[in-house]
Copies of this chain bind each other. A is one copy, B any other.
Amino acid sequence: MQELLNIFKALSDETRLRILKLLELGELCVCDITAALDIIQPKVSFHLSALKGAGLLRDRRQGRWTHYRLDDSDLFRRMLVLSVMERVPEEAVAADRKRLRAFMEGKEATGKVVGMPANKRCCGR
């Protein structure tokens, strides 16, 4: 029962739906999400941990970065998330997408990508 409840608790927060919406686009590291949502990093970690605890996300450690992506191993969660994503209004995530795009382009332009030397840092935060 608790497991089921955790799924819904995870889905009943706006920040977390925004994160899921971003991850629809593909795997992202914490600093990508932080930049896209324009909120402080511990807040992002907090919500990522809730989503992961509910079995909605998987993470992958690569060097100093942790990459998160949707966990599609469970059919129920997958269909649930899918149907929810469809219902998140576009205007609630448009700004996030825009900031993400800008941030990603910045990374590419300056060579600040995963695996790059630390002086060419990822976040600058």
User: Chain A residues in contact with chain B, CB under 8 A?
Assistant: 1, 4-5, 8-9, 11-14, 17, 76, 79-80, 83-84, 87-89, 92
Contact = CB atoms under 8 A, between A and B. Distances in A.
A79 B79 CA distance: 11
A8 B5 contact: no
17 contacts: A1-B14, A1-B89, A1-B92, A4-B84, A4-B87, A4-B88, A5-B12, A5-B13, A8-B9, A8-B11, A9-B12, A11-B12, A12-B12, A76-B83, A76-B87, A79-B83, A80-B83
- Overall SS of chain A's interface: helix
A1 B11 CA distance: 12
Given A8-B8, A8-B9, A79-B83, 12 more contacts: A1-B17, A1-B88, A1-B89, A4-B84, A4-B87, A4-B88, A8-B11, A11-B12, A76-B83, A76-B87, A80-B80, A80-B83
